[in-house]
Chain A
Amino acid sequence: MSIKPYLPVIALAVCAFLLPPVLTAAKSAFYLTQLTMSAYYALASLGLCALMGYAGQISLGQAGFFAIGGYASSFIATRNLQAIASSPLAKALDLAGLLSRGTDPYGVALLSLSPWVSCILAVLLAAAVAALIGMPVLKLKGHYLAMATLGFGLVIEKVVRGTKALGAADGLSNVPGFPILPGLVVTGGKAARASNFTISWVVLALALLALVNLFRSRAGRALRALHDGEEAAGANGVDTSRYKLNVFILGAVFAAVAGVLLTHYNGSIGPGEANVMKSVRYVAIVSVGGMANLTGTLIAGLLLNFLSLRGIFGSLDDAVFGIVLIFVMMLAPEGKAFGHSFSSFLRRKGRAG
């Protein structure tokens, strides 16, 4: 077995543990915050890469799934169950260890479902929504598919922006930390900065490992066939609609997990996360990464989000992503339907020069 496909996974894992002490020594530990957030955005991009690059289906609704994850988890985790604390249901949940206690900033005692419960419910919700809308949506192709997913993303954005229970324009805040493992909590703050960076990059490495394995399996070959030609893949016995739906759900789950973790890390989520422009960013990142290129998507996702979060692009933030999209499309070699574009273009240029 060749180790080459796993090198990016190893590199990520090494960085996860090596970067915090290095950056701390270099007195720039503050970068870790943006690198952590970038990792979660990159995680959502990886999910889209599976859908766009490998299954060949465009989606302009990735931010919708990110928001479903983040909003659902924070909504559930911030419900105060104190009023029904003595009910048999609450007692049973408590016995099962599914409740967590705390106090809000005003000193009011809180009793809520544990973030593990809210996280799992949120991801299941995203998967269910993806399955439900994926069935009709994925029958469409080309601009109809793009418009339908864009419409889905817009609905999610308008709903979270217009719903009082979800905080309307302010979003949800005071989201509790997420104790992933004993002693490891996904939460903001200086003390947890290094450990959270490690958590996020390890999660990203695990997600990448899962995708690398998936695409080297029978399912991966089926997907590649699907990408190259749906009719041909179908004629060769690939159940194309099932594969498309499964990858769509997989992409949604990645986005939802990213949304959950980033929301617990930031302690809040706003309607901006559901913005269609965010979905376009994910598409831009996958395009720059070279479409069917997990490593490329990963690098582009980490780099572009890091620069954007550091404010390098200033007020041109959105414009940069638009320009990136146009240039990637224009520079990509002719004849290639969509895939493998940018990196292979660079490689070819490199060889020619």
Chain B
Amino acid sequence: MPPEVVLQYLISGLIYGSIYAAVAIGFNIIYNATGIINFAQGEFAMLGGMFASSLSARLPLALAIAVAMVLTALSGAVLERVFLRRVARGGVLKMIVTTIGLSIVIREAALLAWGESVRTLPFFTGNEVSSVSFLGANFSPQVFWVVGVTALTVAALTAFFRFTLMGKAMRGCSASREGASLCGIDPDRMVTIAFTLSAGIGAVAGCVVAPLTQTHYAIGSGLAIKGFTVAAFGGLGNSVAAVVAGLFLGMLESFSIVFVPEAYKDVVSICVLLAVLFVKPSGLFGSRAAGALKDY
């Protein structure tokens, strides 16, 4: 394989890896706050891209993305308040089934609202033909946006959970719901914030990759399974590990087309998921000791 082709694959892996990581971080935020997996996670990225693409016709791009992010974050909060809070006491399985139902309803609503057509967003800098040359490989400047935004998100989140009062309160909630409420933290409020935050991050990810990968009403479930693969691979709840795992999966997928037919590209990543779940469900970076305390 010539080096510039390798580089091209690397960059494509980087793009997909970043969005998988962003979706995985969304999973992690909600998992940390509630202990559940939100199967509708991929739908947030879809909603973000769709809202932004509709709004960008009327508003300047930056404003359109900001509004799309707020709208998606609000829908995350609504999902939690209206639906999930009511089944929260019913146990994990009930919440799983509810989030599956919600993901279907969101997808079908998006189909009704936006139709089946593929949508896109304008490139943030330059346009579809502008490209940056690097060691013989050509790629869109949008790649910098994708990588930069993902890196910034991870850094901001890490700082948020480590240094701000609210971030600490959310971590307290996930460590012990009762303990946190004894300290004057309202756990229900923290869960709502977690959903809002997670949906907002999903929306941002959906927006930054939309110029490169396009967006469509049905992209959510595919992103959700990849995002979960990455989250589980890194160890649920660990956002820095999710980035490493996301980049790994993105690279694996983009290089897999060298070895297997394009049609089986998704099969490769799902096999990674199954392998992780079967062999080490605590994830690559999860400790076995901590894993033993959890219910897989």
A residues whose Cβ falls under 8 Å from a Cβ of B: 58, 60, 136-137, 139-144, 146-148, 150-152, 154-155, 158-159, 161-163, 168, 276-277, 280, 283-284, 287, 315-316, 318-319, 321-326, 329-330, 332, 334-338
Contacts and interface: CB of A to CB of B under 8 A. Distances in A.
Given A140-B296, A147-B232, A151-B274, A330 B98 contact: yes
A284 B98 CA distance: 10
Interface stretch (B2-10, B117-125, B243-251, B262-270): B262-270
A136 B273 contact: no
A290 B199 CA distance: 32
Contacts of A154: 225, 266, 270
B296 A316 contact: no
Contacts of A319: 104-105, 108-109
Given A151-B273, A319-B108, A143 B92 contact: yes
A330 B102 CA distance: 12
Bin chain B's interface residue count. 35 or more
B228 A325 contact: no
Contact of A148 (B109, B112, B274): B274
A163 B105 CA distance: 30
A284 B101 CA distance: 9
B90 interface: yes
Contacts of A337: 90-91, 93-94
Nearest to A154: B270
A338 to B, nearest CB: 5
B89 A142 contact: no
A338 B98 CA distance: 12
A237 B295 CA distance: 22
Question: Nearest 6 CB-CB pairs, A to B?
Answer: A162-B263, A322-B104, A325-B101, A319-B108, A326-B101, A143-B37
A316 B108 contact: yes
Given A140-B281, A325-B98, A330 B104 contact: no
A161 B263 contact: yes
A83 B266 CA distance: 37
A140 B277 contact: yes
A338 B264 contact: no
B271 A142 contact: no
B80 to A, nearest CB: 13
Contacts of B261: 162
23 contacts: A137-B277, A141-B295, A142-B92, A147-B228, A148-B274, A155-B267, A158-B270, A277-B104, A287-B97, A315-B111, A319-B105, A319-B109, A321-B104, A322-B100, A322-B101, A325-B104, A329-B97, A330-B98, A332-B87, A332-B90, A334-B89, A337-B90, A337-B93
Contacts of A335: 89-90
